[in-house]
Chains A and B, each alone.
Chain A
């Protein structure tokens, strides 16, 4: 079997696997937000940045190769990832104490994992629209991190409800329906697209604050532990 090294450990891989896939298969977590084992990579959040033979690369898109030397767990990368996470926090409106997703949110859990204690940068406090037109699903754009997981999931479901529009700081999540409102789209609460959002941008109504503090997803487990337990078994189920 072919192998590469990750933080000094030999990792076996199958041809065509990306670094993040081979690492997770071997039980090693590489931070990520826009990558999900069931979908083709998006390569946008850069949280999965690793050093491959000394160069910075995205582990979710970069293919494995024999003899490659990959570094993921270093102080330098931890610092860079923390800065990226802080940027994601300041470019949206993230007020965790009042967020339905708190305790179950990947962005927040990643902040914990990376030891982020402040936001470092000035806050943008952007004005983005909230869409409460759907009876079962709420779209709070303030918390969107533009990972396109909902876009990819909806595409795979043949509905194409979501899309990113605009560029740069003006990027926003738009809904495909005659009115542009979620309530007039084909989205249903059972759709993966309504459930896959890693943050609190797309949330199911009537589920908020149901799980008591202390028993929420990331109250006792780190995002690394959850990823290995829950995402690792999904490897190879990709539909991209």
Chain B
């Protein structure tokens, strides 16, 4: 029998849209469960990543915790895959890069429309925001990228099955979309 494949997934500065799209592979999830185990992933409840074959990262890097999780994924995963626009170029969260972080916080928590009880959250439990939002390839080495906002379930499936089979995933034509 072939050894089972271990997969970990995470959402950093993303919206979980890529994970939702992944769920869209529908009954193929059952086929996947036959051959693969999920390590750390919002799909299960494991909080720390162990040795994995494939790590799937949604979202860019916007705070200190994102950096930590991303580095943990890189350490433990043989193959790291950036999934979706945010992981690849920062995406919508990176729209804040044109503004000063202090200004963003002030508008969101002090001066913005509809703010009640104005106070910038400062609980030490909260991860520290980075000055800019970054794509994940600026922090760790990334092996493959699947663009899209989100990528379609079929595209995710195509890449994942290729990786599990030990093949080089090939994206072309209509499976490459940036929106």
Contact = CB atoms under 8 A, between A and B. Distances in A.
A217 B115 CA distance: 42
A108 B179 CA distance: 10
A206 to B, nearest CB: 20
A90 B149 CA distance: 18
Nearest to A216: B179
Interface string B54-90: 0000000000000000000000000000100100111
Given A119-B88, A119-B89, A125-B132, 6 more contacts: A90-B89, A112-B178, A117-B88, A117-B146, A118-B142, A222-B173
Q: Is the interface of B mostly helix, strand, loop or mixed?
A: mixed
B177 interface: yes
Interface string B136-148: 0110001011110
Contact of A125 (B82, B85, B94, B174): B94
A97 B135 contact: no
Nearest to A93: B98
A97 B149 contact: yes
A31 interface: no
Interface string B83-123: 00100111110110110000000000000000000000000
A127 interface: yes
Interface of A: 89-90, 93-99, 102-103, 108, 111-112, 115-120, 122-123, 125, 127, 142, 213, 220, 222
Nearest to A142: B98
B138 A118 contact: no
A115 B94 CA distance: 24
B67 to A, nearest CB: 15
Interface residues of B, number: 30
A98 B95 CA distance: 10
B147 A95 contact: no
Contacts of A125: 90, 94, 97-98, 132
Interface string B20-36: 00000000000000000
B43 interface: no
Contact of A123 (B135, B144, B176): B135
B171 interface: yes
Given A117-B146, A117-B171, A118-B145, A123 B90 contact: yes
A222 B132 CA distance: 34
Contacts of A96: 85, 149, 178-179
Given A96-B178, A96-B179, A123 B89 contact: yes
Contacts of B132: 125
Q: Is the interface of A mostly helix, strand, loop or mixed?
A: loop
Pairs A-B, 3 closest by C-beta atoms: A118-B145, A97-B149, A96-B178
A90 B135 CA distance: 11
A95 B92 contact: yes
A96 B149 CA distance: 9
Given A115-B172, A118-B142, A95 B89 contact: yes
Contact of A118 (B82, B97, B179): B82
Contacts of A103: 179
Contacts of A95: 85, 89-92, 94-95
Interface string B150-179: 000000000000000000000111101111
Contact of A120 (B98, B137, B144): B137
Contacts of A112: 173, 176-178
25 contacts: A93-B97, A94-B89, A95-B91, A95-B92, A95-B94, A95-B95, A98-B95, A112-B178, A115-B176, A117-B144, A117-B146, A117-B147, A118-B82, A120-B137, A123-B89, A123-B90, A123-B134, A123-B135, A123-B138, A125-B90, A125-B94, A125-B98, A125-B132, A213-B179, A222-B173
Contacts of B94: 95, 123, 125
Nearest to B144: A117
Contacts of A118: 82, 88, 137, 142, 145, 147
